[in-house]
A and B are shown apart, each in its own frame.
Chain A
Amino acid sequence: AQSVTQLGSHVSVSEGALVLLRCNYSSSVPPYLFWYVQYPNQGLQLLLKYTTGATLVKGINGFEAEFKKSETSFHLTKPSAHMSDAAEYFCAVTRGGATNKLIFGTGTLLAVQP
């Protein structure tokens, strides 16, 4: 069975500091991995995805993530946090196949301090 673990339900950084949100997955087959962002009272928006090919993927708003198979990780980073990055971030995994069901992590709430 697939699962996703997000370490740290709350992360706080200062504006301009590095953002690092951790995601580890468990999957018996090569996974497809996603990061979604949810701003207050809104739906989820796709930040970036890894399906095949290059293991370092770049997304919107300056975020990127690296797929590391040996560490079963897909951590999300941004070099310099902005106040507008404050939101909840979800990592998700799927094996694809006939249903493409996404399994979500429990989320990490990012706070950005001025």
Chain B
Amino acid sequence: NAGVTQTPKFRVLKTGQSMTLLCAQDMNHEYMYWYRQDPGMGLRLIHYSVGEGTTAKGEVPDGYNVSRLKKQNFLLGLESAAPSQTSVYFCASSYGTGTAGLMDGYTFGSGTRLTVV
């Protein structure tokens, strides 16, 4: 049972380059989320999706785009990377709405460590 898989695990980008981070889940979860983790700041929500074909902005969406073309995949794109986007990125998924959707909390991937130089 793979759960949530993130690729790649590590990446170094030059300023201005673009890349896409892939998140895949095999639990048939409706909701998916992208967070970034920075020292002393906890996890901050970038974008999220409540179903296939839907996306919405989170707390810190600037400089990122997302797509959810298939229920099991949630892509995070950086069009023109900046040093401020150096971070660890986590994808998470959850069953769905309401109390039932929270009973198992979120399932997290193992993260992507991105460095922009």
Contact = CB atoms under 8 A, between A and B. Distances in A.
Nearest to A105: B42
B110 interface: yes
B94 A100 contact: yes
A90 B98 CA distance: 22
Contacts, number: 74
Q: Range of interface residues on chain B? A: 20 to 34
Contact of A49 (B43, B105, B109): B105
B41 A106 contact: yes
Given A90-B43, A99-B48, A107-B42, A32 B102 contact: yes
Interface residues of A, number: 27
Interface of B: 4, 31, 33, 35, 40-45, 48, 50, 56, 58, 90, 92, 94, 96-99, 101-106, 108-111
13 contacts: A9-B40, A42-B110, A46-B105, A51-B99, A52-B99, A96-B98, A98-B97, A100-B94, A100-B96, A100-B102, A103-B45, A105-B42, A106-B40
Interface of A: 9, 32, 34, 36, 41-46, 49, 51-52, 90, 94, 96-107
